Amino acid sequence: MLKKVKRHSLKKHIEKNLTERDFSKRNEPLKYLGFVVDEAFFDDFEMLYEFGKELGLQRKDVKLFTFAETRRKIPSLRQNQITNKEFTWRGEIHNQNAQEFLDFPFDVLIGYYKGKHEFLGAMVAQSKAKFKIGFNGADERLFDLLLIVDLQKPEAFKSEVKKYLKILKKID
C-alpha cells in the first residue's frame, strides 16, 4: 500500500516540476556535465568521467549521482548515491547530497538508465539542469533529447551524444 502511495506521490512531484521548469538557458554551451545512473544497470563510472574529458571538461566539472535499490551492508565511501528508502511516501527526497546535485545548474544532464524509472525520473524532473538527455523508452516529458542507442555499448553512446552536442552547438 505504501509503495503505491509513494509511486503516486512521485508522479505528482514529476508533474509539478515539469510545469515549473525554466527553459530560458537551454542553449548554453557545455561547461558542467551531470549523470544520473542506475547502478543495477551500469557501474563503470570511470568511463563517464573519461567521456567528460573527451568533451573537453575537467574531472571536477563532471558529476554523477547513482541510484541503488537498497544500500549494501558493506561500508561505502560513495556519497553520491541514493536509494528508494530516501524518497518519502510523499515523493520528497531526503538526501542532502542528492539535493545539492539536483540544485546545481548543469549545462547538460544525462539520464543513464533504460526505460522509465520512477525514482531517477523524479530526480531528472527536479534537476535544475538546463538541457537533459535521455534514452530509449524514458519518459519523453523529462528530456529535451531522447537518443536510441544501446547503453551497453559505450562507444555508440559516446558518439551519439557527441554528435548531437555538436549539432546543438554545445561543444566544438
> Taking the domains of the chain in order of start, what are their residue ranges?
2-167
Bridge partner residues of 35 (DSSP): 64, 110
CA angle 119, 114, 108 (to 5 degrees): 75
Predicted TM-score (pTM) above 0.75: yes
pLDDT at residue number 132: 96
pLDDT at residue number 151: 86
Please name which of 10, 2, 8 lies closest in space to residue 119, comparing C-alpha atoms.
Answer: 10
pLDDT at residue number 29: 92
- Ranges under pLDDT 70 in the chain: 1-2, 18, 71-78
pLDDT at residue number 55: 95
Tens of pLDDT, residues 9-49: 777 777 777 677 777 777 889 999 999 999 888 888 999 99
Furthest-apart CA atoms within the chain: distance in Å? 50
**Alpha helices of the chain — where are they, by DSSP H?**
2-19, 45-54, 96-103, 118-126, 154-167
C-alpha cell at 30: 557545455
- Which fold, 2-167? Rossmann fold (3.40.50)
